[in-house]
Structures are given as C-alpha cells and as structure tokens.
Amino acid sequence: MKMILLGAPGAGKGTQADFIKTALQIPVISTGNLLREAIAQGTELGKAAQDYMSRGALVPDELIIGLVKEKLASPDCAKGAILDGFPRTVPQAEALDEIVDLDVALYFNVPDAVIVDRMAGRRTCPTCSATYHIENNPPATEGICDKCGETLGIRRDDAPEVVLQRLQVYHDQTEPVMHHYAAKGKLVTVEGVGAVSEIRQRIAEALKIEA
C-alpha cells in the first residue's frame, strides 16, 4: 500500500501515522521529521531548510523531492510506505506521480480554529518524534515521552505567529494538492475532529484495517 497523509499542520497526521504503520506493516516517511533530524545533525540539507521552517514557509521543492525519492527507493519501502507531510505542493504531487502509483490520499479535515488550539498544547519528543497534547493526548508522566523516556519539548514552529503563517501556506499551496488527488479518484476524507481514538476508528473503517 502506498499512501499519503494530507491535512493542515496539526490536523493529527503524525498522531495517527503510527497506528496505520502498525496495521499495514509499512514504514512512515515524515518529511518534517527528516528535516528536523537534518537540522539537529547540522547537515547541508538541515542548514538549507532551517530558515524556511522557522518562518513557517515550505522548503523548496527541489530539496524535498530528492529526499523523498531516495527514501522510497530503500528496501524497507518495497511493500509500500505512508508519506506524512509530502506532497505539499502540486509540483511535489506531480513528481510523486512519476515515482509511484499511489493507492490512497487520506485527508484529515480539521477547521483552523481547532488547529490553533491543538498546536498551543502540543509537546514533542526530540529523540523519537512522538507527539502528545497536554490535555487531549497527554503522556503517562507529565513532560516525559512514554516511548523513550526523553524530556518533551515544544517545536519552534509551534509559536502562535508561525502557526498562523503555516496555516496560510497550507491553504495557498497544499490545498490544491487535495484537488489533484480528488480528480484522480484517490482522495479519502476523514473528519478529524473528535477524540484520538474516534479518529483512529474512522481511519480503520475508511481503510478497512483493524483499529
């Protein structure tokens, strides 16, 4: 299965990706996580991406498309992959069309007002990238990652003014990607407001997998 997760920043893509990965036994490729790792390691890609990400802008297509192509060519993607955060522009979607025959574009439909609230309470693990919310999806021990025991932090691009900029970029540049897949009959929409467990159930029903 080759699928992409589409939706506004904070729509819940990363939160649900883990469950889909386990159910389908295929890896998740998160371009946001790959870029944050590159920044943490100080690679050329990280240096090039840092300024765009801190402003809430998209990293140029040419940097991202090469990265995704390389990841999709790796042996662990032989049975498919879940792309989280790619494609985010129509040129990225067209580049992906050249590489794989996509099965599903899963779109998380969440209004902007809900997004702003979610981002304000998000906490992330700098080591394993697990995502929590202080009220809606808290870790078992406050401030500590359930998966690896690391101290949780706040993403720099979750600052309120950057979140508004990311939402604007999403409406301008990423919403047309939705229409790209709708026209191909590949778009599956899941209503993304509700408890994490409810969204999980909706996804399971939409994809016909175990919740």
Residue 122 known to be catalytic: yes
Binding segment toward ligand AP5, per CB under 6 A, in 19-27, 97-105, 116-124, 182-190: 116-124
Active site residue 166: yes
Bridge partners (DSSP) listed for residue 7: 108
Q: Residue 207: what residue type?
A: L
69 given a catalytic annotation: no
Give least dist CB 79 to ligand AP5, A. Answer: 22
Binding status of residue 56 toward ligand AP5 by CB under 6 A: yes
> Which among 55, 71, 155, 202 is annotated as catalytic?
155
For residue 105, state whether it binds ligand AP5 (rule: CB under 6 A).
Answer: no
- Asked if 129 is part of the footprint of ligand AP5 (rule: CB under 6 A), the reply reads no
Strands, E, within 31-78: which ranges?
none
Q: In Å, what is the CA distance from 139 to each residue of 70, 146, 177? A: 33, 6, 33
For the bound state, the minimum distance from the C-beta of residue 35 to ligand AP5, rounded and expressed in Å, comes to 5
Burial annotation 134-169 (CB, 10 A radius, 16+ → b, else e): eeebebeeeeebeeeeeebeebebbeeebbebbbeb
Nearest distance, CB of residue 78 and ligand AP5, angstroms = 22
Residue reference for tokens 């049975």? 79
Could you give phi then psi for residue 43, rounded to 5 degrees? -75, 170
Alpha-carbon distance of 84 to 101, in angstroms, equals: 16
- Residue 179's DSSP bridge partners are none
Q: Which residues bind ligand AP5 (CB under 6 A)?
A: 7, 9-15, 31-32, 35, 52-53, 56-59, 64, 85-86, 88, 92, 118, 121-122, 131-133, 136-137, 157, 166, 194-196, 199
The residues annotated with a catalytic role in the active site are 13, 88, 122, 155, 166
